Amino acid sequence: MLQTAIIAKRVAEGDPDTEEIRKLTEAAGAGVVGEVTQTRSRDPGTELGAGKVAKLTEMVEETGADTVVVDGELTPRQTVNLEDEVGATVVDRHRVVLEIFADQARSRRAQLQVELARLRYRLPRVRERSDEGAMNRFTETGTPYYDLLDRIDQLERKLDDLPAVDEHHREHRREEGFELVALAGYTNAGKSTLLRRLSDDMQLGQQTHRDLDETAAVEDRLFKTLETTTRRATLDGRSVLLTDTVGFLDDLPHWLVESFRNTLTAVESADTVVLVADIAQRADELRRKLETAHETLWPTSPPIRWC
């Protein structure tokens, strides 16, 4: 979807930091050709003030950018208003994250979840642009809005019908004497690097575990490991299966987290969770991320160890 983009960010106070949204946009496949920042209160109609919206419009015309990426959560009305003003597709950070998830999804379950999350994101925006009277008149013959509702219902049923093969494999590995350890934490905290440092060889006996790839990717790219990667390791003389899970990201809405809940099943069913953090971050930022990760994992997770 994204090709060339202008990023925009507003903060109520202080200096706007666009580093993460720039990385997200680039991870989604877009080239960033400009940015607009603003420090002021939120405009209820367009998120940004009128002057910055006008500047965005000029930049879209000058650069030919097809997308404006706003670092924040836009309401459906704000999305529609901004698109009408700037003359380009407007997405917020949540839509960008969905694009990254779509690119990384490999399993059938993950692909269905990406499609479901995309449709849930689109639904209120399609409704915002729809003529509600026409929707009511033509319900029987279908409208884009009701077509989306039907497809969402189909996807939910398909996901419910998929077998829980991962849990079956985990129980089988426990019977073989392996303990299950999950690596969790924010994206780019170093989970994949730690996995490579701790893992043993690529083989489990005479068979290769279905989760084992040729390499565990270590790359400065957000969500490089949307699909979990599992390796054999020996820790203090004990045989374990070590799983690298998807990284957390700031400000993800509840509905988006729930759409990809299966990426955390390795955490929920592990014997131990290793919460990985980047010690190079500022103390207050590190503390906030650790607390958020702990709150996200704690209700259903096993004991958490800090690393």
Q: Hey, CA dihedral for 12, 93, 16, 187, is it positive or negative? A: positive
Q: Which residue reads 């991962």 in tokens?
A: 166
pLDDT at 212: 40
Q: What crossing angle do the helices spanning 144-161 and 108-129 adopt, rounded to 10°?
A: 160
CA gap 32, 61 in Å, rounded: 15
pLDDT at 247: 67
Question: Across the 307 residues of the chain, what is the mean pLDDT of every consecutive 10-residue run?
Answer: 90 92 90 96 96 97 96 94 96 89 78 88 90 51 82 92 66 74 79 83 40 43 57 86 73 63 66 82 77 67 57
CATH superfamily placement of domain 166-306 = P-loop containing nucleotide triphosphate hydrolases (3.40.50.300)
pLDDT at 213: 44
Name which CATH class applies to 4-97.
alpha beta
pTM of the model: 0.70
Please return the burial class of 193, using the count of CB atoms within 10 Å of its CB with bins 0-12, 13-18 and 19+.
middle
How, if at all, do strands 238-244 and 229-235 pair? antiparallel
